[in-house]
């Protein structure tokens, strides 16, 4: 699809959002019409006033005073109409922007994880924040100036025709030049603004990445490389911005040149007509005023068109996100998962993130209630992928995963995920108080329950030392908390929920050895009677597991408990012994 069709399609989609604001749109058009009619009425009054001045000392002050009163009333009503029009335009513009942001955020909530994993966070943020802001600016200018501009052009032509057809013909003949100039520039600017928007998104993504990982960058002396990368993107953004601004900035001078030709044509032809007695001096002044009012909207509309190129380019990016394919919807007959005892089975499961790169192949596993299943193996063997499949962050390519005999694709995602308590190696805390972060999975939890969970996770002692205790507000990055403290809060969150099953993915990787032993004891109590899946690199932490799955290249190559696997002297024994080799 070419750029022109893309623009039209994007603009049509944006206009669909206006349906909700039909009253504001209608009121804006009416007020624009009132404003234009009254504005165009003023030159007529001016011409009449001039015609009442026939010579030195020959001035009809009574009639001029009456005309001045009419002009004052017209100006006052014009101001009121323009104010109402601007209020309606602002409500409509920012209502549309709010709706688009709402849709974009809701779509992020239901996007499959493969989309989030394949797009930088900064680039997605840029679409929802920066691109929508640019769209708002374009729409506001469009609504404010487009209606009045078009009506002014049509209105002035009609009035000029009633005064003098010949002079109006001069105006009409020169008009197409403005359209040709504006159309040429518009085609150039759209491509430039699209490149500018893409470069801005890339830059936002890089800044987000650099700020979030500044410690790593400084630790590895990556500052110069980061600056080089930033400078390269910044140069592209500068080039795209300069090109876009250059083409958009020549719109006004070009249309003004055409407008000057129109004004000159009216002045010359009108002066000749006035000398010949075809029109009065007042009518000539009136025509010159209308010629100026007729050409002025072309400058405004050309500016609007330029701004709309940027707005449409940005709208295209936000609409791409809104229209992105969501995760597979739950089937109509999806049931709530209840009465979970911990029966989990994986049958002939095949899965890969990339179609041509195999990962999980013919994976089979049956877990009985209360069993502890440890998954070990080298990096990239598929350990965390199994967790992603159990939680339905990704769906299997073939085969099935069942909980309590129900295929998890036929149960609601919410009921499945609330059945699992999950602690990951990567901690996640939201902006809010310590209390809110611990109670996130159980909003109705009492103060005593939250404190008990924190004590079970051995987090209570450091929390009460914080300035505001459980009311201490932390940022999403964890504020001044250490990585270990953040992980303890995540563990306390799970302790509070008391889930039916557990998933622990390197849950104690950031905790000191002494605290880890205490946490292991707490987990041991929590896991009693609960089916648990444990992913661990430190094999000393999974000795007590009922089943240890040894994975390699997406397959289970060994299976058994700690003693039997060591006695087999296979791959597990090599991994285990290598961790204690001197």
- Each residue's pLDDT, cut to its tens digit, for the chain (582 residues) gives 455 566 777 878 887 888 888 888 888 888 888 888 888 787 777 777 777 776 555 667 788 888 888 888 888 998 998 899 888 888 888 888 888 888 888 888 888 777 777 777 777 877 888 788 778 777 777 777 777 777 777 887 777 777 777 777 777 777 777 667 666 766 667 677 777 777 877 887 777 777 666 666 766 667 778 788 888 888 888 888 888 777 767 766 777 777 777 777 777 777 887 777 777 767 777 777 777 777 777 666 666 766 777 777 788 888 888 888 877 777 788 888 888 888 888 898 888 887 777 788 888 888 888 888 888 877 777 778 888 888 888 888 888 999 888 888 888 888 888 888 887 777 777 778 888 888 887 888 888 998 988 888 888 888 888 888 888 888 766 566 777 788 788 888 888 888 888 888 776 666 677 767 767 777 777 777 888 888 876 666 677 788 888 888 777 788 888 888 888 888 888 877 776 554
Predicted local distance difference test score (pLDDT) of residue 342: 83
Predicted local distance difference test score (pLDDT) of residue 80: 92
Looking up tokens 């095949």 gives 350
Q: Which residues pair with 365 in a beta bridge?
A: 346
* 8 A C-beta contact, residue 335 and residue 406: yes
Q: Is 484 helix (H, G, I), strand (E, B) or coil?
A: helix
- Here the tokens at position 162 are 């009633």
The whole-angstrom separation of Cα 28 and Cα 19 is 14
The whole-angstrom separation of Cα 237 and Cα 391 is 40
Whole-prediction pTM value?
0.62
Predicted local distance difference test score (pLDDT) of residue 580: 57
* 8 A C-beta contact, residue 170 and residue 265: yes
Q: 244, 150, 153, 261: which is closest to 196 by C-alpha? A: 244
Domains, the chain: 3-322 (1.20.1560.10), 330-419+547-582 (3.40.50.300)
Predicted local distance difference test score (pLDDT) of residue 187: 67
Strands 432-433 and 531-535: unpaired
- Here the tokens at position 472 are 């201490």
Q: 443, 424, 471, 189: which is closest to 302 by C-alpha? A: 189
The whole-angstrom separation of Cα 538 and Cα 557 is 19
* 8 A C-beta contact, residue 257 and residue 302: no
Predicted local distance difference test score (pLDDT) of residue 537: 66
* Secondary structure (H, E, C), 357-382: ECCEEEEEEEECCCCEEEEECCCCCC
CA 38, distance to chain mean position in Å, is: 42
The whole-angstrom separation of Cα 95 and Cα 565 is 63
* 8 A C-beta contact, residue 368 and residue 394: no
Half-sphere exposure in the Cβ direction for 74 (13 Å, CA):
17
Other CB atoms within 10 Å distance of the CB of residue 22: 10
| 528, 536, 544, 568, 578 from 571: Cα distances, Å | 29, 16, 19, 9, 11
Predicted local distance difference test score (pLDDT) of residue 167: 75
Q: Which residues pair with 555 in a beta bridge?
A: 552
């Amino acid at each position: 699809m070419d750029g022109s069709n893309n623009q039209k399609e994007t603009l049509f989609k944006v206009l669909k959002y206006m349906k909700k604001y039909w009253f504001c749109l209608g009121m804006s058009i009416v007020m624009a019409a009132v404003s234009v009619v009254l504005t165009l009425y003023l030159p007529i009054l001016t011409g009449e006033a001039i015609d009442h001045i026939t010579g030195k000392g020959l001035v009809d002050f009574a009639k001029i005073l009456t005309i001045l009163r009419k002009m004052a009333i017209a100006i006052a009503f014009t101001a009121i109409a323009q104010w109402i029009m601007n209020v309606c335009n602002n409500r409509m513009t920012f209502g549309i922007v709010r709706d688009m942001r709402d849709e974009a955020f809701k779509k992020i909530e239901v996007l499959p994880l493969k989309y989030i994993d394949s797009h930088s966070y900064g680039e997605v943020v840029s679409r929802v924040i920066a691109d929508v802001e640019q769209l708002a600016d374009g729409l506001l200018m469009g609504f404010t100036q487009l209606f009045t501009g078009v009506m002014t052009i049509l209105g002035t032509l009609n009035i000029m025709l009633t005064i003098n057809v010949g002079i109006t013909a001069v105006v009409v003949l020169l008009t197409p030049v403005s359209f040709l100039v504006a159309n040429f520039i518009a085609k150039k600017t759209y491509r430039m603004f699209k490149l500018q928007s893409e470069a801005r998104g890339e830059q936002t993504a890089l800044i987000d990445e650099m700020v979030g990982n500044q410690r790593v960058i400084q630790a590895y002396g990556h500052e110069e490389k980061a600056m080089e990368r930033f400078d390269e993107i910044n140069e592209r953004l500068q080039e795209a911005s300069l090109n876009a601004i250059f083409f958009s900035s020549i719109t006004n001078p070009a249309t003004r040149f055409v407008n000057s030709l129109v004004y000159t044509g009216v002045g010359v032809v009108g002066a000749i007509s006035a000398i010949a007695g075809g029109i009065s001096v007042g009518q000539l002044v009136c025509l010159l005023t209308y010629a100026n009012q007729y050409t002025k909207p072309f400058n405004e509309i050309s500016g609007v068109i330029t701004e709309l190129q940027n707005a449409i380019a940005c709208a295209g990016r936000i609409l791409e996100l809104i229209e992105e394919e969501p995760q597979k919807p739950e089937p109509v007959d999806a049931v709530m998962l209840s009465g979970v005892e911990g029966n989990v089975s994986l049958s002939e499961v095949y899965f890969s993130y990339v179609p041509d790169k195999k990962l999980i192949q013919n994976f089979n596993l049956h877990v009985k209630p209360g069993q502890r299943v440890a998954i070990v193996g080298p990096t990239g063997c598929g350990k965390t992928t199994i967790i992603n499949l159990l939680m339905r962050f990704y769906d299997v390519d073939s085969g099935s995963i069942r909980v309590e005999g129900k295929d998890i694709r036929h149960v609601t995602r919410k009921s499945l995920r609330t059945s699992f308590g999950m602690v990951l190696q990567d901690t996640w805390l939201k902006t809010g108080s310590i209390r809110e972060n611990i109670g996130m999975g159980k909003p109705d939890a009492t103060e005593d329950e939250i404190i008990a969970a924190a004590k079970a996770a051995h987090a209570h002692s450091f929390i009460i030392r914080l300035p505001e205790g459980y009311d201490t507000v932390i940022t999403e990055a964890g504020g001044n908390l250490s990585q270990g403290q953040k992980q303890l809060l995540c563990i306390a969150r799970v302790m509070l929920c008391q889930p039916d099953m557990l998933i622990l993915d390197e849950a104690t990787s950031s905790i000191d050895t002494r605290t880890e032993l205490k946490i292991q004891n707490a987990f041991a109590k929590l896991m009693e009677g609960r089916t648990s899946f444990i992913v661990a690199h430190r094999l000393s932490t999974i000795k007590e597991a009922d089943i240890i799955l040894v994975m390699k290249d997406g397959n289970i190559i060994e299976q058994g408990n700690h003693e039997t696997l060591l006695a087999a002297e296979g791959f597990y024994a090599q991994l285990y012994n290598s961790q204690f080799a001197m």
